[in-house]
Amino acid sequence: MTDNGPLWQRRLFLALLLAPALLWLLLLIVLPHVDLALVSFRERVAPREYVASVAQYTTFFTEPLYWNVFVRTAILSAIATGITLLVAFPVAWTIAKIAKGRQATLLFMVCLIPFWVSETVRTLGWMILLRESGVLPSLLVKLGLAAEPPELLYHDATILVGLVYTSLLFMVVPLVNSLESLDNALIEAAYDLGANGFAVLQRIVIPHAAPGITAGCIVVFMLTLGNYLTPNLLGGTSSQWFTEQIYNQFITRFNWEQGAAFGFLLLGLSTFMVWLGLKASGQRFADVMQRA
Amino acid sequence: MNTSAVTPTADLEVDAVQKTFGNHTAVDRLSFSVPHCSFFSILGPSGCGKTTLLRMIAGFIQPDAGDIRIGGRSMRGVAPNQRPVNMVFQQLALFPMMSVGENVAFGLARRGIGKAERTRKAHAMLERVGLTGSAAKRVDELSGGQRQRVAIARSMVLEPTLLLLDEPLGALDLKLREHMKIELKQLQAAFGTTFVYITHDQSEALVLSDHIGVMNHGRFEQLGTPQALYYEPATPFVAGFVGSNNRITGRIQALNGGLATLETADGWLIEARPQGNLTLGAAATAFVRPEAAVLARNAQSLPAALRPHTGCVESLLFDGANSAILVRETQSRVEFRIALPQTGQFSDLVTGEHIHFAFDPDRALCFADGVAS
């Protein structure tokens, strides 16, 4: 019994420490999800009268519009993730390997500063730049590159630009972390053994940074897939992002059952894509999350 | 250094190479050559420029002036991945993302050698360094000594003209370091490749090398065989850095025949062989090896021809065959290290005991102060 005393106390202490986090998880994540799951598996047959049903899910698979938007969102998110990786890698390499001390901190700050402004304001900033009467189209006219100001908003490319811009930091951080831990001697040793720049990148840098790359891609993909504001503002009505469908069901149509089902389908999609990404890169989830 | 008769060109020729960082001269117009098949060490304290020199030979740093020729070919403008040299890094820098076999085959793959051929060569090389059957292992499954061998195998499989080694034993514990010293020497003899080894550990350099360049402030203080450095150091720095030495400072009191008599500030007189030009009354430093001194319990037992000294045993430094005592000389209170004879005689000495000692002045060297370093 004398030994159990301190152990019991330690357990209580641990429970108290974890309580806020556990309560937060339970009340704001687990309970709403359980409730939404229940909502998604029922059908309204009469006012305030519901029966258990998979009708909401059947609607999704039989209605091509929903299905198309779903696939389109997944593909565009994957493209945005890929572009973000390509843009972020040189940035992260510069911060981790080339810049020294204060310079590296400064570069990191430059990446961080846009995030001091809210996402709405940043996206509106893009709109000011890109709309027909905006800065960039009038500049193109002035330079003689266009006869009249082109409409740069409401294209898929515009949505991608906005998504990459919003996601960049979430890719740069895990990449910087994983590249910083790469011993420069390994790069030198590879050169010394006759490797060229491409072989060093392919055989040394990428295998070393793989957990960081995967972590960044998972985070960026999830953020992009679940983004509502950027596709909606930059893509307008033609954006066709799946989050808009969910919003419509909940708010416009007041069809909570359908909205809940869509929400779960999106959750399933992101889980599946993460699993696919881990499988394809041969990474383990625990290793990757340590880097993120 | 003389170039060997068999190969007219030396494997490595360093010709007036200079490198400065800001206002710090890391390597100062250094010239030397290393003959084929030899083990050459660059010995010096940290910050002496030896790492800079090695990295210039490997091609990671470009010299400001001068030329480096490897196998007779100038390396000016040749990138590290094009040079016929390979390097064993300080922390070995084995690739953790690859197996042992892939590590060894890495350089072969970069040369475009086919998979079957490079696997065969990698296995043969691993066998040569005593790691048969380790090809499939991960790097972190190996012991420190085995990793060392993989690092050497990874370079040697490319058959370089020159193998550079950057203090590869530094990370190992003492016991393993002693073992790997012998192994390195045997590997060098077996491969017949020229090794250029940098270290701050004089014992490693003495044991391993055919020739050693003692480096200080970007220059070679002396270049010679281990025996020459030990018995005939050219400068006080070499005398103090290579092996242990008693250092006694004073003024030249007499110069007669081949010997100089040095008088310390407290009037202790010792005799030593002059190295370089000494002038009467000038400040000078004498170096006496601990093993050059003989001990006796009474003055009569000392060799009659030698000048007798007395002292008091200050501490006993027992270290098996390397045991020594620290004696405080009676007159000057100078601390003097004396190696104990291996016969076990004087093993019963106690701290505080009064002792007589003498040393052969031919085995002590005297340098004038204030010249070169």
- Domains defined for chain B, CATH in brackets: 12-239 (3.40.50.300), 244-368 (2.40.50.100)
Q: What is the DSSP letter of B19?
A: E
Domain ranges in chain A? Answer: 61-291
Residue B231 has a CB neighbour count (10 Å cut-off) of 14
pLDDT tens digits along B127-161: 998 899 999 999 999 988 899 999 999 999 999 99
- CA–CA min distance B3, chain A (Å): 27
Tell if the CB–CB gap between A186 and B87 is shorter than 8 Å: no
Please identify which residue in the block is written with the tokens 């509502």.
Answer: A228
- Interval A19-36 mean pLDDT: 92
How far is Cα A41 from Cα A258, in angstroms, rounded to an integer?
Answer: 9
* Burial track B89-118 (b if 16+ CB lie within 10 A, e otherwise): bbbbbbbebbbbbbbbbbbbbbeeeeeeeb
pLDDT in tens, A246-271: 999 999 999 999 999 999 999 999 99
Q: Is the pTM of this model over 0.90?
A: no
Asked if A7 and A20 touch (Cβ cutoff 8 Å), the reply is no
Read off the pLDDT of each residue in B93-108 and give the average, rounded to a whole number: 95
CB pairs under 8 A between A and B: 60
d(CA B18, CA B26): 8
For residues B148 and B92, the answer to whether their CB atoms sit within 8 Å is yes
Distance CA B316, CA B326 (A): 7
Calculate the CA B32 to chain-centre distance. Answer: 16
> Which ranges of B248-305 does DSSP label H, i.e. alpha helix?
none
Statement: A61-291 belongs to CATH 1.10.3720.10:
yes
Look at A191 and B86 and tell me if their CB atoms are within 8 Å.
no
pLDDT (mean) for B343-349? 86
Confidence of residue A47 (pLDDT cuts 50, 70, 90): confident
Q: Three-class SS of residue A167?
A: helix
Candidate from A249-253, B3-7, B207-211 with smallest mean pLDDT = B3-7
The mean per-residue pLDDT over the stretch B116-126 comes to: 95
Find the mean pLDDT for residues B156-179: 89
Chain B residues with CB under 8 Å of A212 CB are: none
pLDDT recorded at residue B6: 44
CB B324 within 8 A of CB B259: no
Q: What is the pLDDT of residue A218?
A: 92
Distance CA A215, CA A277 (A): 10
With residues binned 3-state (H G I as helix, E B as strand, rest as coil), the percentages for chain B, rounded to 5, are 25, 35, 40
CA distances from A117 to A76, A132, A153, A225, B275 (A): 25, 24, 21, 21, 75
Closest CA to B358 of B308, B297, B286: B308
Sheet holding B335-339, edge to edge: B293-296, B354-359, B309-317, B324-329, B335-339
Interface residue A185 vs chain B (CB under 8 A): yes
Q: Is 0.95 exceeded by the ipTM?
A: no
Picking from A183, A186, A194, the nearest residue to B110 by CB comes out as A194
Measured between alpha carbons, how far is residue A189 from residues A262, A271, B152 in Å?
Answer: 52, 39, 12
- Render pLDDT for A142-170 as a digit per residue (tens, 0 to 9): 998 888 888 888 889 999 999 999 999 99
CA nearest A183 in B: which residue? B93
